[in-house]
Amino acid sequence: MGKDYPTSTPQVKEASISCDLNVEDCDIDTKLGNVTFSFYPRPLVGMAPTTLKISGLPQNIKDPNVRIYGLNMQMGVISAPLVKQGSSYSANIVISLCVVSRMEYRLEVLSGDKPLDVSIDFYIKS
């Protein structure tokens, strides 16, 4: 008989999707106030240029950026700087795609490498 070796199971996070970014802008209440997220074009398509717009964040964030990672699959981490445009921030991103029919992601807003406790979950269908 062979020896049983421990295997590590990736910790799967559960998505909390209360608003569908594929069809509308989404408002989230955070400790920083009300923050609005939007993606263009809609619906979201993997491996295609996408513009993210975030409104309602403080105007004095140092090194604002976003981190996007999969919740129901391992797709690595997508990082992008946020560019201030008037009272909003925007980023151009390309979201990874895999064979999972409904890919769930979490988008977090950071100041440098420090999370601001502002996030939203969303999905893409393949």
* Average pLDDT value for the chain: 91
- Looking at the domain assignment, is residue 114 inside a domain? yes
Q: What is the CATH number of the domain that holds 111?
A: 2.60.40.10
Query: What domain range includes position 107?
Result: 26-125
Q: Which residues contact 121 (CB under 8 A, 6 or more apart)?
A: 15, 16, 17, 71, 104, 105, 106, 107
pLDDT at position 14 is: 76
pLDDT tens for 47-82 read: 999 999 999 999 999 999 999 999 999 989 999 999
- What pTM value is reported for the model? 0.87
Residue 72 contacts residue 103 (beta carbons within 8 Å): yes
pLDDT at position 36 is: 99
Q: Is the pLDDT of residue 8 over 70?
A: no
- Looking at the domain assignment, is residue 106 inside a domain? yes
- Looking at the domain assignment, is residue 16 inside a domain? no
- Looking at the domain assignment, is residue 8 inside a domain? no
Q: Considering its fold, how many domains does the chain have in total?
A: 1
Res. 108 pLDDT band, cuts 50 70 90? very high
